[in-house]
Amino acid sequence: MPFNESIEHFALPDTFTDPFNYKPHPISLLASRELQDYLSEQKEWEHNFGLNDSSEGRIIGKMFGVLVVRTAQHEVGYLAAFSGKLAGGYHHAKFVPPVYDALKEGSFLNIGMQELTQISKQIKELQEELADNKEMIGALQQLRKTTSVALQAKLFDQYHFLNQAGQEKSLRTIFQKQFNNNPPAGAGECAAPKLLHYAFRHQMQPLALAEFWWGQSPKSATWKHSHFYPSCQEKCAPILAHMLEDMVTDLQPT
């Protein structure tokens, strides 16, 4: 989307942001400020960030990202994204879509989750009976485990990420190659990979990236409202290594 403020006096960066060690570029700060103004003022959806007493529901702070881009028509603007879900969904105006929408109606994930729920219900019913159902309960517990693992693996196979050269790799391929292991839960749903994938898919040149936390911090973390943070190592580093291949970043020689 275009900037609300004129960017004529901004010098565009010569190299792309190192997602893991950066000070936000001035034009990234402008994009972040415009997005934060939108988050503070919008009335299109409701999400309890814990920033005022009038919001209802569980407090869930959220990581947001902005990616300054140059389009194929040589126009400079920025993209915005959030990690995971926002207000219970993946699709909201002003934000790029998910790399894969696991919540769409009739998806294999929804069907699989219903199957897991039914198995859990059967286990609970057997556990409440007085009869000796240990063998059946054990079999159902094993079925639930194998079903869950297979469902997670199938979900990972739906995520495919582009890089600047147009090369596409699946999430499982990326993690198997680097760690000989499956991805952690939630991999592929962070802001930075979503932004870069959208930019590459639509022939946009990434210029600068910034990610900030919005809302109350979870008890187990030290994230502070509106502060900037690097991309995470556990979920994002392997994905971004593929997506940023052959791109010159801040800490690399030109």
- Residue-by-residue pLDDT tens, the chain, 254 positions: 899 999 999 999 999 999 999 999 999 999 999 999 999 999 999 999 988 877 677 889 999 999 999 999 999 999 999 999 999 899 999 999 999 988 777 778 888 989 999 999 999 999 988 778 889 999 999 999 999 989 888 888 899 999 999 999 999 999 988 777 788 888 999 999 999 999 999 999 999 999 999 999 877 667 899 999 999 999 999 999 999 999 999 865 44
Phi and psi, residue 76, nearest 5°: -105, 125
Q: What is the pTM of this model?
A: 0.87
Beta strands in 143-200 (DSSP E): 160-162, 168-170
In three-state secondary structure terms, 253 is coil
* 238 Cβ contact list (under 8 Å, min separation 6): 174, 175, 178, 179, 183
Rounded to the nearest 5 percent, the helix, strand and coil shares of the chain are 35, 15, 50
* 160 Cβ contact list (under 8 Å, min separation 6): 99, 168, 169, 170, 171
Phi and psi, residue 114, nearest 5°: -65, -40
Largest CA distance in the chain: 77
What was the pLDDT predicted at 251?
67
* 250 Cβ contact list (under 8 Å, min separation 6): 13, 15, 16, 17, 18, 21, 22
